[in-house]
């Protein structure tokens, strides 16, 4: 068996924690990964991995071997990338993950132009409000609207958006308009995900207010539909209240307390070699998203009573 294949399989198992995960990462079969690692151990005459039904860990010899060989494999990938990047066409499959509503409103409209620029590229757009494991789910690039504390990822801030607290005119006519965040205790607040405390900013700094209501959902679109129907008040990113979700009956409240910006960032797994298709798509989306959101291509509605 090819030594490079053995080494690639071994390092993939170490970095993903198992043979099935390594197979997903490399695109090989699980049996192929297992055969490659077994062949490597047989050739070296030592056990590199402890195997159990629950997990795979390194032996002492395996740890030493990994520390010596991982930089070598990285250098090979960098050398290959440097040699081919100047002449390589952008092609192959790329998985991009984005929050559902933001992805539909802002990422999907950019995909045709990206594919037009790079006809050999194939995009798998994964729209989900769940935080995806980029290695486990084989995500090449993720768009996130949140604080990111992941030492294994590279984060590139693109632009920002603000939070808004919004309800329908019909709801406020029936229940009154909250004048301070504390007034939300007397209102029906629609809960997205597990956000049962809403963040605000006052003269003394940041604070949060517990909220509750009779409708919760893991879908921003469901919460917005509830707001439009007059069920209650919702908390949104302003970037979500555009296009088809720009409704004349929806107004914002408590604007003087909404001063917590949210970064919109591109995130990819930390690695020395980044495929050309990921670099090009990242550069394109960074420019296009910033222009779309900040330079007036998306016109935000006047969201005041």
Sequence-distant (≥ 6) Cβ neighbours of residue 138 within 8 angstroms: 24, 25, 95
d(CA 217, CA 234): 11
Sequence-separated contacts (24+) of 55-61 with Cβ below 8 Å: 55/17, 55/18, 56/13, 56/17, 56/18, 56/19, 58/14
Please tell me the pTM assigned to this model: 0.65
Report the percent of the chain where pLDDT is more than 70: 90
Are the C-beta atoms of residues 267 and 153 closer than 8 Å to each other?
yes
C-alpha angle 168-169-175 in degrees, rounded to nearest 5: 90
Express each pLDDT in 96-145 by its tens digit. Answer: 999 988 999 899 999 999 999 999 899 999 998 887 778 778 888 999 98
pLDDT digits (tens, 9 = 90+) for 22-53: 888 888 899 999 999 999 999 999 999 998 87
- Strand 191-192 and strand 141-145: pairing? unpaired
DSSP 3-state assignment of 42?
helix
Q: Which residue has the higher pLDDT, 145 or 76?
A: 145
* pLDDT tens profile 275-299: 788 889 999 999 999 988 874 444 4
- The whole-chain average pLDDT of the chain stands at 85
Over the stretch 216-229, which tens digit does the pLDDT of each residue have? 998 888 999 999 99
In this structure, are residues 100 and 130 in contact, taking their beta carbons and an 8 Å threshold?
no
Give the orientation angle of helix 3-16 with respect to helix 60-84, to 10 degrees.
Answer: 110
């Amino acid at each position: 068996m090819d030594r490079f294949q053995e080494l690639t399989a071994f390092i993939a198992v170490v970095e993903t924690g198992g043979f099935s995960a390594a197979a997903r990462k490399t695109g090989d079969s699980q049996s192929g990964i297992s055969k490659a690692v077994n062949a490597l151990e047989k050739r070296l005459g030592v056990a590199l991995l402890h195997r159990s039904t629950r997990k795979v860990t390194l032996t002492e010899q395996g740890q030493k071997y990994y520390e010596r060989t991982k930089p070598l494999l990285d250098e090979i990938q960098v050398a290959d990338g440097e040699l081919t990047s100047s002449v390589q066409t952008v092609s192959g499959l790329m998985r991009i993950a984005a929050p559902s509503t933001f992805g539909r409103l802002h990422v999907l409209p950019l995909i045709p132009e990206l594919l037009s620029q790079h006809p050999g590229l194939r995009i798998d757009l994964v729209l989900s409000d769940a935080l995806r494991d980029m290695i486990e789910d084989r995500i090449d690039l993720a768009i996130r609207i949140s604080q990111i504390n992941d030492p294994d990822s590279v984060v590139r801030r693109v632009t920002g958006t603000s939070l808004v607290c919004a309800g329908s005119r019909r709801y406020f006519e029936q229940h009154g308009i909250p004048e301070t965040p504390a007034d939300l205790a007397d209102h029906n607040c629609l809960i997205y995900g597990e956000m049962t405390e809403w963040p605000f900013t006052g003269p003394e700094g940041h604070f949060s207010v517990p909220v509750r209501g009779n409708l919760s959902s893991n879908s921003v679109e469901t919460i917005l539909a509830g707001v439009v129907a007059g069920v209650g008040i919702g908390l949104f990113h302003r970037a979500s209240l555009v296009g088809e979700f720009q409704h004349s009956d929806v107004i914002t409240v408590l604007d003087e307390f909404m001063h917590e910006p949210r970064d919109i960032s591109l995130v990819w797994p930390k690695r020395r070699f980044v495929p050309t298709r990921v670099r090009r798509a990242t550069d394109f989306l960074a420019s296009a998203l910033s222009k779309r959101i900040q330079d007036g291509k998306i016109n935000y509605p006047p969201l005041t009573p």
